[in-house]
Every structure is written in structure tokens, then in C-alpha cells.
Amino acid sequence: MTIILFLVGAYLIGAIPTGYLIGRWYKLDLREEGSGNLGSTNVYRVVGFIPSVVVLFVDLLKGFLPIWFFPLWDSHTGPWALAYGLAAILGHVWPVYTRFRGGRGVATAAGTLIALAPGAVAIAFFLWLGTVLLTRTASLGSLLAATTMPIIVNSTKETLGNPQSVVIYALLIAALVWWTHRANIGRLLRREEIKIHWNRKFSPRTNSPDNGDKKRMTVKSVAVLGAGSWGSALAHVLAENGHDVRLWTRNEALVQEIHAKNSNERYLPGAYLNKNIRPSTDMVDTITGTQFVVSACPSHAVREVLGAARPHLDEQTLISTSKGIEITSDLRMSEVIAEVLGTLNGIQTVALSGPSFAEELVQGLPTAVVAASLDEDSAVLVQELFQNGYLRVYTQPDISGVEFGGALKNVIALAAGVSDGILLGNNARAAIITRGLAEIVRLASRLGAKESTLAGLAGLGDLVLTCTSDMSRNRTVGIAIGSGRDPDEIVNNMDQVVEGVRTARAAHELGRKLDVELPITQGIYSILYESVAPSEALARLMAREPKPERWG
């Protein structure tokens, strides 16, 4: 009975949600911030250095206390002491207090081993620290330290208790650490693992303010490249948030209009733009001295514009908002940017995407988007930059999924528009959206995207918006095509870029190369580039062989 009580006590001590409590102190739920776990690394990313040290110390103590003190009151020593340590670790990983969402278990496991083999832990710590300093990847350091710990324990023979039992215990901990880091391992293999951004400030980050609360916000200097509807709307939001905003465009007449009238009638008719936006045709003046650069030009122009900007970039965070796939290379926009910038040091890229029309955003209507980056801290910085009372920004490490979702939904929106143009009804549109999402998942997951991302804002959310709204350019063009108008004539007569037209070709080529079945995309491609009538494309689609429904 005593043993059971001590095991339960060890679990409850390990389950003390230190990271959660620290987060609540700063009015944050760390289960919904950063990487979403309650360990000290995520605390460091989200709220700063000192809180993370507090969490680290307490988490070490949670492992140390049960394995060191419980045997003093328990006649059953030896293996039971190790059982108390495991119970504490399990409590940290699956804490009952926070619905079983805790940390990865590394610090609490280290605390138990400090009580058993302090010298071996010291060696493993320096191995962990060196790995983190060299790679900026905490998960790699944890995996390496946990893996080598049994070897170190066995080599040093310096343990409090039976050395063989401690070696076996260290092996169990290594297995648990590998299991809790399985998602990290996948990202490491894909070279997408989140890296630590060294925060030299010892104070926690402040939350992003509501729209009217600008006193707590640190003013940032931002360059927006591209003054179309989306670039102008984002510049407006940033200026409303109190930031120093510079807006670059090739159009001198547009610069004069924004200066004189605070408007952009061609792209945002009837909208008022914040008077503090500074438009210019001088790219050097626009970029020099800024902390963030927003790429808001059409996808086919990203390579050219970023190539011109490259000599003037200097460790800014680069925010990509273009939705498309480059036809000549089949690259996503962040991949195009990486290729253009090459080895330029200090540049981190964040993709900003989601269900958002510029016309509604500039009116201050509620909108939610995603900031995705392989560098989590850069995504958080972008979240803080844009978020206000009407724009909610979520962070996300799956930049591949976010970019593919934003690009491929335009092709499905063309199909939804064609369906509406032929007057096929609501049933058909719902089927196109649903099976279109299956196509997006099928292609994007083959290229490293996560299905969960494509079920979120940047995938399903953006798809539904673009396929159903009269404000959608891609759906509007699809309706015109379905009504019998010539696709080339429609596109040539539009003031704004219809990304789905180019993306349909890129997606078709990707599907062919990867042998991925994309029937809806194939139908749109045949209409746009093979002069197939919409009715014929529909007939081909409906004549396909019946099969079970599969997701992706």
C-alpha cells in the first residue's frame, strides 16, 4: 500500500504543470502557443529567458525529489526508487492537471538521473549544450543526450545504487524521450525542425495588443513590396497597429494617389488607407533600415522582385504572402525566395496565408490567418506584428502545407466557378470543394505537407472562402468560363492577377511528374490550355470509374 501511495505521489509531483502556471502568469496558455508543449524550451520561445530558467529548475526538482526522498521513508529501496522516478516523468509528460498535455519529459528525467548518477548527467548536459549551441535545435540535443546517457552511466560506473539497474533505467528514459520526440524526429529528417532564436532580452515577450491598445506595442519598421489589393491591405493593418510602414510599387501615379487621397481605387475601390503609410517607387529607400519585408507581389513576379531587393536586405524577417507555384521550377514561394536569396545570412522566411479577402481586412472585419515558418520564433514575431482586435494570427511550423493550401485552392475555386457558371447547383459545388480538398491533400502530402495543416485555416478555410464568395477572383473567372466566355479573353481583361490560371498548369505538371491523380485539376487544365469545353470536361469527370471514397 505504501508503494502505491508513493507511486501516486511521485506522479502528482511530476504532473505539477510548471510551464502552464508560468504561462497563466503572463495570461497565456502555452498549450496553444509556440510548439504547444509545457517544457522550458517552449517557455523560453514564448515568454523569455528568466521564466524558462524557473520552469527548468522546478522540472528538474520534480524528478529529483521522489527518487531521492521517497526511499528514505520506504523500506523498499532499489528498483522501487527507479519506479518513483518513472512515475514522476510520466506525470510531467501526461499531467492530469492540464488534460494530459505536458512537456517532453527531458528535464524531469534529467532530475531523476541527477539523483542517481550526477557525474554522468554533467557529461550528458555538456553534450546537449554543445549540440544546441551548434545547431540551434533543442530536440536534437535532447535525443543525443538521452541516447548516450546509458553509455555514459555504464562507462563512469558512478551511480547511487546498482549500476546495472541505473543503466537499464537510462535505457527506458532514452526510449521514452525518443517516443515523445517522434514528431520532432520526422521534422529533423525532413530538415524542417524548429530552431531556437536566441533571445538576448531577459524579459518576457509582451502580448500583441488589441487594435486600440498601442502603448504596449514596440514600433517596427516594415517594407511591403507590392501595392495591389493584398499588399495595400496589409500595409494598412500594419500602419493601424502603429508600425512604420513603407509601401513599394512601380506605379508613380499610385504613389501620388496614396499620398494625396489615402486610397488605392484600382485595387481597393472605396477603401480608406491609413495616412501613415509611406508609398514609394524607390526600392532601396523602401527596404533600407527595416526589420520586416513583406513580399506581396503576384507569384510569377516574386523571383524578379526579390532579386532586385536582395542587395538591400540585411537580416530582416521576410514575410511571403504570395499564393502560387512557380511554373518554370514547380517551387513554392518560400523555396523561390530561398533560391533567390541563396546564402544571405540572417534572413528567415515566414509564409502568411489563410481565408482572407483584402476588401474585408481593410474594413476591419474579423479575419484569421496563419504565420508558418521552420523557425518558430520568426513565426511568433510575425504573429505579434500583425495581430490586433480584428486580425487573429496563428503560428504553424508546416510552411509546406500552408503554401500548398494557399496555392492549390485557387485551382479548385476555378472549378467551383465553372460549376456555378454552368448552373450545376449547390450539390455539385459541395462535391467540388470536398473532392478538391482530397486532391490538395493527395498532392501536397506527397511533397511533405501535413494533412492536419490542410484541414486548417490555410487549407480548408481558404478553400471554402475562395470557392463560395462572389469576391473571389478565381471563382468569378470560373463562372465566366462556365458561361461560355473565352478564358484568355477573360484573364487579359482583368485588372488583377488570377493566380489559379497559372497554378493549374503548375499543379498539372506536378501531378504528372509524381503520378498523383488530380481529376478536378486535370479538368481545369484541359479547359484553360487544351480548349476543352466545360461541358466536355464535366462529362469526363463524371465518367470516371466508380471507386471507394478515399481521403488524400
Residue 191 confidence (pLDDT): 65
CATH of the domain spanning 221-397, picked from 3.40.1350.10, 3.30.200.20, 3.40.50.300, 3.40.50.720: 3.40.50.720
Whether the CA torsion 136, 139, 143, 145 is positive or negative: it is positive
CA 505 to chain centre: 26
The CA dihedral of 301, 304, 307, 313, to the nearest 10 degrees, is: -40
In 74-137, where does DSSP find H-type helix? Answer: 79-93, 106-116, 118-135
Q: How far apart are CA 347 and CA 291, in angstroms?
A: 10
- What is the predicted pLDDT for the residue at 207? 36
Domains in the chain: boundaries = 2-189, 221-397, 401-542
Neighbours of 532 (CB within 10 A): 18
- Residue 132 contacts residue 194 (beta carbons within 8 Å): no
Per-residue model confidence (pLDDT) at position 262: 93
What's the Rg (C-alpha) of the chain?
Answer: 27
What is the pLDDT, as a whole number, of residue 158? 63
Q: Contact, 363 vs 332, CB < 8 A?
A: no
Q: Which residues are catalytic?
A: 409
Looking at the DSSP bridge assignments, the partners of residue 225 are 248, 295
Cell numbers found for residue 52: 524558462
Rounded distance between C-alpha atoms, residue 471 and residue 360, angstroms: 10
Query: Under a CB-based contact definition with an 8 Å cutoff, are residues 372 and 321 in contact?
Result: no
For residues 22 and 58, is the Cβ–Cβ distance under 8 A?
no
Q: How far apart are CA 296 and CA 230, in angstroms?
A: 7
**Confidence (pLDDT) at 476:** 92
Phi, psi (degrees; rounded to nearest 5) at 330: 65, 25
* 405, 453 Cβ separation under 8 angstroms: yes
DSSP 3-state assignment of 350? Answer: strand
Determine the 3-state secondary structure of 455 from DSSP: coil
Q: What is the pLDDT of residues 69-123, one digit of tens each?
A: 776 665 544 566 788 888 888 988 898 888 788 888 899 989 888 888 888 889 9
pLDDT, tens digit, 9 for 90 and up, residues 17-61: 888 898 888 777 777 665 667 888 878 767 777 888 898 999 999
Q: What angle do CA 130, 136, 141 make, to 5 degrees?
A: 50
Q: Which parts of the chain have pLDDT scores under 50?
A: 76-77, 199-217
Long-range contacts of 339-342 (CB under 8 A, 24+ apart): 339/303, 340/302, 340/303, 340/306, 340/307, 340/310, 341/306, 341/310, 341/313
For 369, phi then psi, to 5°, come to -135, 180
Secondary structure class of 165 (helix, strand, coil): helix
CATH fold of 401-542:
N-(1-d-carboxylethyl)-l-norvaline Dehydrogenase; domain 2 (1.10.1040)
